[in-house]
Amino acid sequence: MPDIPPAAPYRAADTLLPVTPALGAVLAVLLLAAAGVAALARLAPDRGRGHARAVLAAGARAAVQLAAVSWAIGWVVGAAPSLLAFLLLMYAVAARTAGRRVTGNRTWWWAGLPIAAGVAPVVLVLLLTGLVPFRGITLIPVTGILVGGALTASALAGRGALDELRTRRGEVEAALALGFTDRDARMEIARPAASGALVPALDQTRTVGLVTLPGAFVGMLLGGASPVRAGAVQLFVLVALLLVEVVAVAVVLELVARGRLHRDGGAGEGRPAGGG
């Protein structure tokens, strides 16, 4: 009998979501449905339909940005200067997004500190140990996952802490009257709310494999990796994200307590007592 050549390795990515007009049509329908539900349910802070518009804007923006990034990655992976510039751009956008979401004023730039404090040490360790080579095709997605986690944790922690300080402003002033320093008075009130930012990461880590199969695991499988290798990569991502987000939340809490991140609402909301 003639030899039968071995079958080519099957990759689910070759058949999943082919880029065709049908994909574009389905995406448009899904986005319109999401906006429609948000409008009907009036999912907006002001009881209007702001989130419906936000859903449409976010979807359109994501399409444009992913198209640009898909083109840019092929260009930046070839040279170290362009790779570093792309990573700095990711960091700058994350810092501005988190900061504006938290404060809405000129103190937004302080949000860059918790993101850098969480992400930079982890990426440095990965590079020094050789677990992630200094190549754009690997460094960009790993750094992007970590920066995204730090962004989310920083925004949730900052908003939660400042909201709590505004709601319990009287307790902050009472603590000051009892002799607490500004930092300690704010810290006692803001800490529980800021700590709540870790709940999504903790829930995801606790339920991985039982409730959800996160993106890194699915992506590795679609790329043809073995389930064991995909599981190892996903475990690394989850543990690294836990560290990054814990550090980010801790730094955000300190910045809020010291009045570096604040809203324009007085000392009880994290603003320095002297008006700085």
Q: What are phi and psi of 61, to 5 degrees?
A: -65, -40
Q: In angstroms, rounded to a whole number, what is the distance separating the alpha carbons of residues 61 and 223?
A: 26
Residue 49: per-residue pLDDT: 54
Q: How many CA atoms lie within 13 A of 45 on its CB side?
A: 1
What does the angle CA 54 – CA 262 – CA 48 come to, to the nearest 5 degrees?
25
Are 162 and 269 contacting, i.e. CB atoms less than 8 angstroms apart?
yes
Are 248 and 115 contacting, i.e. CB atoms less than 8 angstroms apart?
yes
Residue 39: per-residue pLDDT: 85
Residue 5: per-residue pLDDT: 43
Q: In angstroms, rounded to a whole number, what is the distance separating the alpha carbons of residues 220 and 3?
A: 32
Count of C-beta atoms within a 10 Å radius of residue 118: 28
pLDDT tens digit at each of 276 positions of the chain: 444 444 444 455 555 567 788 888 888 899 899 988 988 887 876 655 567 888 888 899 988 888 887 777 777 766 778 888 889 999 999 999 998 888 878 888 999 999 999 999 999 998 898 888 887 778 888 899 999 999 999 999 999 999 999 998 888 888 888 888 888 889 989 999 999 999 988 888 888 877 767 676 777 666 677 778 777 878 888 899 999 999 999 999 999 999 898 887 654 555 555 444
Chain centre to alpha carbon of residue 84: 20
Residue 249: per-residue pLDDT: 95
Q: Per the structure block, which two tokens stand in for 159?
A: 């908003």
- End-to-end CA separation in angstroms for the chain: 85
Residue 155: per-residue pLDDT: 94
Three-class secondary structure of residue 132 per DSSP: coil
What does the angle CA 193 – CA 198 – CA 203 come to, to the nearest 5 degrees?
125
pTM, entire model: 0.76
Residue 4: per-residue pLDDT: 42
Residue 7: per-residue pLDDT: 41
Are 162 and 263 contacting, i.e. CB atoms less than 8 angstroms apart?
yes
Three-class secondary structure of residue 208 per DSSP: strand
Are 181 and 127 contacting, i.e. CB atoms less than 8 angstroms apart?
no
